[in-house]
Amino acid sequence: MIEMHDVWKVYPNGIEALRGVNITIDTGEFVYVVGPSGAGKSSFIKLMYREEKPTSGVVLINGVNVKRVRDWKIPHLRRKIGVVFQDYKLLPHMSAYDNVAFALEAVEVPTKQIQPRVEEALELVGLSDRMKALPSQLSGGEQQRVSIARAIVNNPGFIIADEPTGNLDPENSWDIMYLLEEINMRGTTVVMATHNKEIVNTMRQRVIAIEQGIVVRDEIGGEYGYED
């Protein structure tokens, strides 16, 4: 469960990215975060995986106050959260397999467990036959699937996705959405910031709209609500 109570995020240059946000996301939910560019979506997302700290207010991840977590304990918090980005953030010199294995090595998973877990994750995203390919040999959609495999390989409770379809054509975007939906069906909470009107309006999940740092709309089965 993710909770935000009266959360403010003010950057050193004085910009108020979030202004008194109150939100609760239950385990197993699928949530779209929408709003114009610069509305505060990225700050909202970054608070969840503790890339940013709230200026005031409380952010709780499974009851843990992320502001109070000591620096050396942050990695343990992040192991419960898989993050997916618009630009995939894959390591170009490593194969699809190695990119996923890298996430397990980083958290010191025993070597024997790495191979079956990586193969399972790549199978889930439909890339069993592309394991040895380098990112440069994969399409944008395939690269995003590798990054999703990397995000889920540690069995996190949450997937936080920041514009995961932003660089993809409609066909590949839908593939990614079906994949995220399947991951959600298996019990993982998915929070996704997006500008994709078609996807939001078709999938009909919970929609949180943020404008000028304030939550202006929060509805189950909501619509995108903007023209861009």
| List of residues contacting other proteins (CB under 8 A) | 49, 71-72, 75-79, 83, 89, 91, 102-103, 105-108, 110-111, 150, 154
CB of 222 to other proteins, least distance (A): 29
Nearer to other proteins among residue 80 and residue 217 (C-beta): 80
CA separation for the pair 147, 126 (Å, rounded):
12
87 bridge partner residues: none
CB of 180 to other proteins, least distance (A): 17
Nearer to other proteins among residue 78 and residue 206 (C-beta): 78
CB of 77 to other proteins, least distance (A): 8
Helix (H) or strand (E) holding 31: strand 30-34
CB of 117 to other proteins, least distance (A): 13
Nearer to other proteins among residue 107 and residue 220 (C-beta): 107
- As to burial, measured by CB atoms within 10 angstroms (0-12 exposed, 13-18 middle, 19+ buried), residue 23 is middle
What is the number of alpha carbons within 13 Å of residue 38 lying toward its C-beta? 1
Nearer to other proteins among residue 192 and residue 200 (C-beta): 192
Number of H helices, E strands in the chain: 7, 10
Nearer to other proteins among residue 143 and residue 154 (C-beta): 154
CB of 163 to other proteins, least distance (A): 16
Secondary structure (3-state) at 24: strand
3 bridge partner residues: 24, 60
